[in-house]
Structures are given as C-alpha cells and as structure tokens.
Amino acid sequence: MLETDQTRLLVDAGLGKKETLRRLAAVGREVDRLDGIVISHEHGDHIGSLAQVLGQWRTTVYLNEATHTEVMRILPETSHKRLDRVEHIRAGQRFIVGDIEVSPVSIPHDAKDPLGFTFRSNGTKVAIMTDLGYLTELVKFHVRGSDCLVLESNHDLEMLKVGPYPWEVKQRVMSKTGHLSNLATSEFLGDTDGFDAYARYVVLAHLSDYSLSEKLDIQGYHVTGLYAAFHVAEHFGYHTGQVIYITKLKRAQDLRFTRLPVVKKEGAR
C-alpha cells in the first residue's frame, strides 16, 4: 500500500482480506478507506482476493483492458458486481489518483498485458517492479531516480533447477517472461550503467517460498535461498551504504522487514 497525507493506493490484491489487514496492522496502519487499487496483471497471487478486498473497501480498480477481461474471466461471476468502479489504464499513460501520479510500464511476463508501476507524490518517487522475466531498458529507464525501489528477486537459479517444481514450471520461471533471478537482480543493482543507485530504500520482493527454506549445496556452501537473497542485499548495501529491506511473501509468517546490519563504508568497493 502507498500512502500520502491524502491518498491511499493498494497495489494488487493477492493476499486475502484478513492477511492484508494483518500486515497493515503490523506496520501500524488501520485503513478505513482506499482511494484505489492498481492491478499489475491477472495471476492469482495478484488478483486472487480482489473481490474480498473490494468487499472491505469499495473503491476504483485501475487496470488495463486486457487484464480486466482476464480478471472477469477468472473471478467467479458472483464477485463481478464488486468491480463496479473500473478505470482502464494503459502502459505509457500516466494517471492521477489524489496526489499520487502513477506511471504504468510494460513488463515482460507471461500474462496478457502485465505492468510495473512508478509512483510520484510530493517529490518522492517509488517504483514497484515484480513479475518480470528480465530487466528491459524501458524498466531500467523508469526505475531511475526512485527514492524507493521494490524489485523482484525471485529465485536462485541453481536451487530452482534442483528444486521441487515440475520441469515446465521451472522453464516458465526461468524464461524471458518468467521471474527475475537473484543473480539478475544483483547484477542490475551492481551495474552502474544500468542502475543509478539513487534509491535510499531497495526492497527485494516476490521471493520464492520454497527456495527460502530449502537448504542445498551451492558452490561448496550449504545455504538457503533466503541466504542467497540476503547475499544480494548485503552485496548491494556494502557497495552503496544504502538500506536494504527484504520482504517475505509467506502467508504463515509475520510480515517482517528484515533490516540488515549496518555495513561499514570503509574499504567498501
């Protein structure tokens, strides 16, 4: 959820009403109204509880036409009436909700017309880019100048290969329209040509559950996927001195922002 003094926007609705409320409460937020829900794409972990969430907060849903069609196809007909306030948006066309300016950006992912977003308000810019097979030049361009960057860091390639999923799923995740690996994210964050390192906050998001707890031998180290994600964050934090957070998507766990220990800047290279 993004919040200014005037406006509250929810990005996607995949967690369920109870879980959404619980997580908002965990960061000290009691939300009586929403000014809109922005939808990135139609996959279940992004729209699965849209009807439920709309039952809690009747509000406008912002999504593009192709995604809208898919959402109506996927959600049960009984919940269609809850989507009575819909605004169609388009990649490349900015729109305003209250005092937040939203820029939808096309991303490569295996959905009908998936979007990432940047948000601007009162001189602050936040970028949310998850569910993308690779980092396009367009995405790199749009995340520049972000004060806060929420970026996918989905899986460790080696762990994915030996992990529990069927081969088709692995193929899908690794494809150009799948998900960003920890390595791809780490390389981008460390690439001074691609990333401006302006962001004060970087959140690694959309981490795979299984690869977080799975313990495997990777290049001689017995590590978990969570460790791999920490490694990305630590590496980045070490070089830039920035504060890195990692979010966990596990429903069963408390939402906890994991703050890494302060890294000494001396000798950082």
| 113 contributes a contact to Zn ion by CB under 5 A | no
Closest approach of Zn ion to the CB of residue 40, in Å: 8
- Select the residue whose beta carbon is closest to Zn ion and give its number: 43
Q: x-or-dash pattern for Zn ion, window 7-46, by CB under 5 A? A: ------------------------------------x---
| 82 contributes a contact to Zn ion by CB under 5 A | no
Closest approach of Zn ion to the CB of residue 154, in Å: 10
Find, among 157, 198, 194, 150, the residue nearest to 175 by Cα.
Answer: 157
Closest approach of Zn ion to the CB of residue 41, in Å: 6
Report which DSSP code applies to 66. H
Q: Would the CA dihedral through 174, 180, 186, 188 be positive or negative?
A: positive
| 131 contributes a contact to Zn ion by CB under 5 A | yes
Q: Among 127-135, 153-161, 202-210, 255-263, which window interacts with Zn ion (CB under 5 A)? A: 127-135
Which SS3 state, helix, strand or coil, does residue 220 take? Answer: coil
- Judged by CB under 5 A, how many residues of this single chain contact Zn ion? 2
- For Zn ion, the closer CB: 43 or 144: 43
Q: Are 40 and 115 in contact (CB under 8 A)?
A: yes
- For Zn ion, the closer CB: 43 or 235: 43
The two beta strands, 201-205 and 243-246, are: parallel
Closest approach of Zn ion to the CB of residue 238, in Å: 31
- For Zn ion, the closer CB: 40 or 240: 40
- For Zn ion, the closer CB: 73 or 81: 73
Length of the chain equals 269
Max CA distance (Å), the chain: 60
| 144 contributes a contact to Zn ion by CB under 5 A | no
Strand order across the beta sheet in which 8-11 lies: 2-3, 8-11, 36-38, 61-63, 86-88
- For Zn ion, the closer CB: 120 or 206: 206
Which SS3 state, helix, strand or coil, does residue 262 take? Answer: coil
Residue 154: phi and psi, rounded to 5, are: -85, -40
- For Zn ion, the closer CB: 101 or 110: 110
Find, among 76, 179, 72, the residue nearest to 134 by Cα.
Answer: 179
User: Can you give the binding site for Zn ion, defined by CB under 5 A?
Assistant: 43, 131
